[in-house]
Amino acid sequence: MSHATAPPAPPLAPGTRPAPGYEVLAHLARTGWLDLYDAWSEERDCRCVVKVVRPDRRHEEGLGDRLLREGRWLRSFTHPHLVRAYETFESPQPLVVLETLTGETLTHLVHRLRRRPAAEDVALLGVHLCSAIHYLHGQGLLHLDLKPSNVVVDCGHAKVLDLSVARPPGAAPAGVGTFCYLAPEQARGGLLTAAADVWGIGVTLYEVAAGDLPFDCGEGTGSRTGDVTTGDVTTGRDDWYPQLEDTAPSIRSRRRLPRDLATAIDGCLQPDPDARPAVRELAAAFEAVLPWQHRHVAPTLPP
């Protein structure tokens, strides 16, 4: 006799107190293993974001530790292009409190705009991403999951989110990250270096500039993700990655851009990690595209 699988537990209701001093205002999103809530901080007298492991996955070993590790990193890091964490709680459940960001993710921005962002705005975004990634690398971490949904932009100022799959450089299992955005070496598994995040910068800017990814990942596979604790790919075929079969077409085949900007983006997407530019070199290339009076200043992305 077969038994139906129990449905996932519903999100916490408004008014619930997930930790002392915090009250749930609304459920924001549910990922494969997390719930995110709009919450009120009594101590700060402001809104914040509360991140917790989904109720139906709290029994899984390692997920709570993974969340708390991310929260501790974000509490200790201080950078204008990284989201901040305020607090972490180990009980009554593993929980991280993050700042509330205004603006919208690049994913929403790309789909909302009727025209593609100006080349100078793409270059400025590249400068901000390079700044955040350079800082993370200085802290001994690779981000490994740069993508438009992990970047929030407000009035031209970008902030990078989500260190849930971050790890130090070195050996890693295949598939850690998000399917369509993985560097080839992430897809294969093995030694990961700063070049994997350079790929992440390039593929993110490619999608923002062109409105689409450089690879056809197949319907419904864009959110396929790997698990940092096991390396398992959760959906779809785990032995097929377009990044391992094809070279990314030049961004200039999809969109007219200044030659130097296009060359920088294309350089990020070289299959060989050693052929990609270093983060400092890449940042200099993006900044060179900006008018001199706009360098180190945040112009507004188009409405």
Q: Which residues are catalytic?
A: 145
CA distances from 24 to 32, 43, 83, 100 (A): 20, 14, 20, 13
Q: Which tokens in the block code for residue 296?
A: 């180190």
The b-or-e profile of 55-82 (16+ CB within 10 A means b, else e) is eeeeeeeebbebbbbbbebbbebebebb
Provide the phi-psi class of 220: left if phi over 0, else alpha when psi is between -120 and 50, else beta.
Answer: left
Q: What DSSP string runs through 164-179?
A: TT-B-SEEE-TT-SBG
Contact of 144 with 187, CB cutoff 8 Å:
no
CA angle 75, 88, 43 (to 5 degrees): 90
Q: Which tokens in the block code for residue 280?
A: 């400092």
